[in-house]
Amino acid sequence: MLTHHPEDATPADGVTFLDCHPAEAVRIGLEAAGGKNLEVLSPTIGRQLLELGLIDEIDLHIEPVLLGEGIRLYDNPGSEPIRLHRVGDVHPDSEVNVRYLPTTVECPQSGNAR
């Protein structure tokens, strides 16, 4: 786990706490993964690794919630935008649209409030 304060981290079996440059953390993590995938769950570290060209694939999990201020994945003021292409049997430039209605809004398909 990459952290600026490893001394404050709670020890856990199978977890190593690192305080280093993100590229070095990736090198250490890939070595420890022994050929398996290395997953990055931090949006700030993920953004840094995107800028360094160290992300091979992004697997986004979409939830109908808003988290804090949010961190922009694709653009960062003052830097070049990072272009992404979808993986799979779809046109590489197509977008994903996921729509949710608040639970107090009438659902058009059923006419029922949700």
* Sequence spans of domains, the chain: 1-82
By the 8 A CB rule, do 71 and 47 touch? yes
CB atoms within 10 A of CB 85: 9
Q: How many helices (H) and strands (E) does the chain have?
A: 2, 0
62-101 per-position pLDDT tens digit = 655 556 666 666 666 677 766 766 667 766 666 666 666 6
The whole-number average pLDDT for the span 44-56 is: 88
Q: Which residue has the tokens 């990459």?
A: 2
Instruction: Write down the pTM of the prediction.
Output: 0.59
Which residues make Cβ contacts (< 8 Å) with residue 81, sequence separation at least 6?
A: 74, 75
In the numeric block, which tokens belong to residue 76?
């960062």
Helix axes 43-51, 22-33, angle to 10 degrees: 100
